[in-house]
Chains A and B, each alone.
Chain A
């Protein structure tokens, strides 16, 4: 057995957890919900173990480094960070409604890591430019930020579904009834964006510090840097429009989608533009 095998299992477990969360929302009943949480926790624990294992293996290969150095490793970490935030919020709020919308994001990240073309799951040695602790902190904080935005995106989807319910409450279905109220979704969107924004800010700062040591300039307008700044601006705008009258609810939910699209472009789309960060070359 190897850690990559565990990670493939984790992919399926997350899918299973998603299905169980879905059952809970459609069929009701506490036991589905409990099973779903159990699966989510089990997958998360296994994934944590696999990541630590991979870390250890890299040391026994003599090229030891934190497993955060290429597209495959960052995807796995992204899924891990999404699950971490999901389980934290589920524990904190005691609501199991988020799983249906957030766990599939973790599943998709895992699946992308294993099947997308050009993603290499071997443990590679680090070229000189990547040998930096700042780079490790940069990746960790950026993906914590991205997971906050992923969560907000999930809540945005829920918000739109729920407004469909709010328009015709008499014949709404049970699934929609079990979604959190609009007010609490609104608050959750705000909080996860604020959390993501703090982490993205720290992520951009640590990235600049790394660039300062590695490339001779804290900012070089490389496409990935520029897109992370665009993403940051989108969320800064999102935080500010709340102070303009009436910009809550649906518009915030729409902004979570714009923001998350920008996150995805920063993360994946930019790799197709030339620059320092392109993992693919």
Chain B
């Protein structure tokens, strides 16, 4: 019973079935809407089917019991299989150099047999030197009139597969740790503001950091064609009100603080900001004021009061605009917009000002207002992440790549060279063993060429 279980869990057939099942599950995950998107889709299905999909977890396959089950079985499969095979690889690793495996030198292809007129002794000593020069440690054995040399290369590569397989366990463990202990949240911070509260992504409850973050400035740069070039937040991290760290956060350059990583995730324009207004009565002499929403100021002549109602970065696609409320000395209120690009707009829509006096910056005669510029105020959207599983996953990734490279580019090879006499000639035969036949062939070709170049044959 125990034996049957063991052979079941160590079989490659099980591996293949598990891997195919996973691939199919992932395919479902890319074709069916998942999580947030699934609700609406589920309503369009018949209740029976949507209930079945729900029960199988197909609307959230990457967190479904089915997926975790497959992962668990794969991990078990890998563990049992590796434990089973380890002694085999160990035995291979420790295989003695001699005796030479049975049948190794029978049926050699012609290019693996080199013949020379040189006598055996001369041939042997130069061959031994050549092998020592090229391979370092070699073993020698004399048996029944034959001399054998044995060379082992990249013996450790026999264990590379275990690296590859173990790495998968590391990655599975790392990802589970990350999903259990990790945290992901988002926070928007306006320029100049400070906070230590982050809305968690799952469920949206509020998470309190033990330090706070201030956004000093957000900068958006664009290319000449309008595509975004840089999003950048200048952040200050504070502990007990004292700055402990400052940094510029950009996409692809997260900031790591106290086990949390901060990412530049989004941005927007915060309501408010400051604007520079100009106005004149048309008799030369222009005045300039810097204002924010809610500010009031008096017009020099005539005793009217101006109040700033709104400042917009892009009003109805007309660009920056400021909305004013002017109270005349008679107590009348006049409201209108001052758009920065009003001259160009009026040229494009000649009827605009007559149809919509609301956009006429000269509505309060005899004044005319100008919008010089607005200082956009932004908020930055930060993603805040803590994932204690990352080091384990990274270790797994490294191990997997190292294992694969070791296995495929530096495979284990064992080479034997036999020297004997064939009639009056001396005969050198080359043979070897490896899982990687092509690499072995290349190695033997190379050795053959070296022997010829040295003039041994």
Give the docked Cα–Cα distance between A24 and B100 (Å): 45
Q: In the complex, are the beta carbons of A187 and B385 less than 8 A apart? A: no
What is the minimal beta-carbon distance from A138 to any residue of chain B, in angstroms? 13
**Does A194 interact with chain B (Cβ within 8 Å)?**
yes
Give the docked Cα–Cα distance between A168 and B194 (Å): 81
Q: Which of B1-34 contact A (CB under 8 A)?
A: 12-13, 15-16, 19-20, 22-23, 26-27, 29-31, 34
Given contacts A128-B228, A201-B400, A216 and B184 within 8 Å (CB-CB): yes
Interface residues on B, range: 35 or more
* Interface stretch (choices A33-41, A45-53, A218-226): A218-226
Q: In the complex, are the beta carbons of B252 and A226 less than 8 A apart? A: no
Q: In the complex, are the beta carbons of A217 and B385 less than 8 A apart? A: yes
Interface residues on A, range: 35 or more
Q: Which residues of B contact A187 (CB under 8 A)?
A: 437-438
Q: In the complex, are the beta carbons of B12 and A243 less than 8 A apart? A: yes
30 pairs, A vs B, C-beta closer than 8 Å: A125-B223, A125-B225, A128-B228, A128-B229, A128-B252, A129-B251, A129-B252, A131-B251, A132-B252, A187-B437, A198-B404, A198-B409, A216-B261, A216-B383, A218-B393, A221-B62, A223-B30, A226-B29, A227-B30, A230-B23, A230-B26, A233-B26, A236-B19, A237-B20, A240-B15, A240-B19, A244-B12, A244-B13, A270-B30, A273-B31
Give the docked Cα–Cα distance between A24 and B225 (Å): 50
Task: Mark contacts of B114-138 with chain A using CB atoms, 8 A cut-off: 1 yes-contact digit, 0 otherwise.
Answer: 0000000000000000000000000
Give the docked Cα–Cα distance between A194 and B223 (Å): 43
Q: In the complex, are the beta carbons of A201 and B254 less than 8 A apart? A: no
**Does B276 interact with chain A (Cβ within 8 Å)?**
no
- The majority secondary structure among interface residues of chain A is helix
| Residue on B nearest A205 in the bound complex, by CB | B397
**Does B265 interact with chain A (Cβ within 8 Å)?**
yes
What is the minimal beta-carbon distance from B262 to any residue of chain A, in angstroms? 9
| Residue on B nearest A134 in the bound complex, by CB | B252
Q: Name the contact of A240 in the complex, choosing from B12, B30, B175 (C-beta under 8 A).
A: B12
**Does A12 interact with chain B (Cβ within 8 Å)?**
no
Q: A198-B404, A216-B261, A216-B383 are in contact. List 10 more A-B contacts (CB 8 A).
A: A125-B225, A128-B252, A129-B251, A129-B252, A205-B401, A208-B397, A216-B385, A217-B385, A227-B26, A234-B23
**Does A166 interact with chain B (Cβ within 8 Å)?**
no
Q: In the complex, are the beta carbons of B15 and A202 less than 8 A apart? A: no
| Residue on B nearest A198 in the bound complex, by CB | B404
Give the docked Cα–Cα distance between A195 and B400 (Å): 14
Q: In the complex, are the beta carbons of A229 and B253 less than 8 A apart? A: no
- The majority secondary structure among interface residues of chain B is helix
Give the docked Cα–Cα distance between A273 and B34 (Å): 13
Q: Which of B67-98 contact A (CB under 8 A)?
A: none
Given contacts A187-B438, A221-B29, A226-B26, A63 and B404 within 8 Å (CB-CB): no
**Does A241 interact with chain B (Cβ within 8 Å)?**
yes
Q: In the complex, are the beta carbons of B227 and A127 less than 8 A apart? A: yes
User: B residues bordering A, Cβ < 8 Å?
Assistant: 12-13, 15-16, 19-20, 22-23, 26-27, 29-31, 34, 62, 175, 184, 223, 225, 227-231, 250-254, 261, 263-265, 383, 385, 387, 390, 393, 397, 400-401, 404-405, 408-409, 437-438
Given contacts A127-B227, A127-B228, A187-B438, A241 and B251 within 8 Å (CB-CB): no
Q: In the complex, are the beta carbons of A194 and B408 less than 8 A apart? A: yes
Q: In the complex, are the beta carbons of B250 and A128 less than 8 A apart? A: yes
What is the minimal beta-carbon distance from A246 to any residue of chain B, in angstroms? 12
What is the minimal beta-carbon distance from A20 to any residue of chain B, in angstroms? 28
Q: Name the contact of B254 in the complex, choosing from A191, A213, A229, A244 (C-beta under 8 A).
A: A213
The 10 closest A-B pairs by CB, nearest first: A128-B251, A216-B263, A223-B30, A125-B223, A216-B383, A233-B23, A132-B252, A205-B397, A198-B404, A230-B23
Q: In the complex, are the beta carbons of B19 and A237 less than 8 A apart? A: yes
Q: Which residues of A contact B253 (CB under 8 A)?
A: 213
Give the docked Cα–Cα distance between A237 and B385 (Å): 34
Q: Which residues of B contact A208 (CB under 8 A)?
A: 397
Q: Which residues of A contact B12 (CB under 8 A)?
A: 240-241, 243-244
Give the docked Cα–Cα distance between A237 and B20 (Å): 8
Q: Which residues of A contact B390 (CB under 8 A)?
A: 212, 218
Q: Which residues of B contact A270 (CB under 8 A)?
A: 30
Give the docked Cα–Cα distance between A223 and B27 (Å): 9
Give the docked Cα–Cα distance between A201 and B404 (Å): 9
**Does A8 interact with chain B (Cβ within 8 Å)?**
no
